[in-house]
Structure 1
């Protein structure tokens, strides 16, 4: 697919060069329209490829395997790994909602809704 697009773009560039030499405005306009369309097609193909790759990568690796690997690496490094969210100490300001944490929660919820919409 990439080779085809590259060949098409090379052909358009050659046609554009010939049109510019002839200074035929109609021919230049036609070539520019074709270039723009192929450029848009390339953008769509790139987006589809990127989305497919990201979805494939995230769905191929089960979460339990990721957690297992994290624990294994932590054990090798001599670290204690806690995958649960920390809780605040009673009477401290840590763990109490703040503007920043509320904003972060809102952003997290928006991201979750966007992911569900896809």
Structure 2
């Protein structure tokens, strides 16, 4: 697009810009879709794990019934130990799945953390972000200043902020 503008080809530059904007929108849509698929995958994995645990619990209960019918103390003790072991495995698997679900669902990401990360990345790339928190619009512009001018402007802004922080005398 830059090359087309330099050559005076504004129609070509406009087409490049439209393509770039369309591709960016497509990329964001695919990212949203990937996030949703990941969340569904985690839920399915949780369901499969729960089904396995339910099957194990069923077999333990049947074993407990047989042990109780025979009133064999050793057998009852073995079945109870197995039950406790499987129950602790269930706790571990359940907590792992809950952690996975909470970390993979993009919707639950706090907006202030997202905004902070975007601001940090923009500062590293010398891009100025102008947006209101809660607004979905995001505009980025690259500063067209030389390094000396940038430094002078930063000093001026810092001095203004310092003056604003000092109590009025």
In the superposition, the TM-score normalised over structure 2's length comes to 0.37
User: 2:104 matched to 1:40?
Assistant: no
The equivalent of 1:30 in structure 2 is 78
**Cα distance, 1:70 vs structure 2:** 3.1
Contact persistence 2:68–2:76 (CA under 8 A) = yes
Distance of aligned partners of 1:54 and 1:22 in 2 relative to their CA distance in 1, 3 Å threshold: same
Give the aligned length.
72
After TM superposition, where is structure 1 displaced by more than 4 Å over at least 4 residues in a row? 58-62
User: 2:135 matched to 1:71?
Assistant: yes
**Cα distance, 1:25 vs structure 2:** 0.1
Q: Which residues of structure 1 form unaligned runs of 5+?
A: 73-89, 91-118
Distance of aligned partners of 1:24 and 1:51 in 2 relative to their CA distance in 1, 3 Å threshold: same
For the pair shown, the structure with the greater C-alpha radius of gyration is 2
In the superposition, the TM-score normalised over structure 1's length comes to 0.51
Distance of aligned partners of 1:27 and 1:68 in 2 relative to their CA distance in 1, 3 Å threshold: farther
